[in-house]
Amino acid sequence: MLRALFEAVANQPSSVAIRESVYGYPTLLTAHVLGMCLFGGLIAMMDLRLAGLGNLSTSCTDLQKRLFPWQMIGVAVSFSTGIALVYSDPMRFYGNFFFWLKNLLLLLALVNAVIFHQTTYRSVTTWDRDPAPPFGARLAGFLSLGLWVAIIVTGRMIAYSGLVPAWWVALKLS
């Protein structure tokens, strides 16, 4: 069913048009990287604070609230160009191990952020300025740093469809 959806998208005239244009893919991928710099970079600045590793003279809520609008601009660019990249050549991604792993990691990063906001972050007023935030905050910070690095890594590795586990190849998806 998923395969049929990806194949249907691949046959859309607009998908074919981007796929066959010389500058479509390079433009989208370059914009995707620039969006990543804004989003990933500013997420890292916040995570380092939560982990107790850096930006310690600024309170957690300051970093959280004041960087948020810029992170959203970054994520809007990365997300829209990411969708467009898949839209332009869905069958390149359908059977790609690193593409699906990246999506799983994105989901985990989202879950980590939601759990943190629903639990430890509720008491932020009591530890906002502490150089060493409570365990829950440090854990969320380290997990987020690790997950976003893994997302960048798996994103780049999509280009290396040959370097995947043998069991994945045995699935014969592509």
User: What does the binding site for other proteins look like in residue numbers (CB under 8 A)?
Assistant: 25-26, 29-30, 33-34, 36-38, 40-45, 48, 54-58, 62-63, 66-67, 70, 148-149, 152-153, 156-157, 160, 162-163
Question: Closest separation between CB of residue 114 and other proteins, Å?
Answer: 22
**Cβ nearer to other proteins, comparing 42 with 109:** 42
Alpha-carbon distance of 69 to 9, in angstroms, equals 32
Alpha-carbon distance of 110 to 126, in angstroms, equals 25
Question: Closest separation between CB of residue 152 and other proteins, Å?
Answer: 5
Amino acid at 8: A
CB contact at 8 A, 147 and 112: yes
Question: Closest separation between CB of residue 7 and other proteins, Å?
Answer: 26
**Cβ nearer to other proteins, comparing 26 with 107:** 26
Tokens of 75: 């994520």
**Cβ nearer to other proteins, comparing 6 with 106:** 106
**Cβ nearer to other proteins, comparing 32 with 121:** 32
Alpha-carbon distance of 56 to 138, in angstroms, equals 13
Amino acid at 144: S
Question: Closest separation between CB of residue 61 and other proteins, Å?
Answer: 11
**Residue 12 DSSP label:** S
**Cβ nearer to other proteins, comparing 6 with 49:** 49
Question: Closest separation between CB of residue 77 and other proteins, Å?
Answer: 12
- Work out the angle at residue 10's Cα, subtended by the Cα atoms of residues 98 and 17, and round it to the nearest 5 degrees: 110
Closest CA to 49 of 57, 37, 41: 57
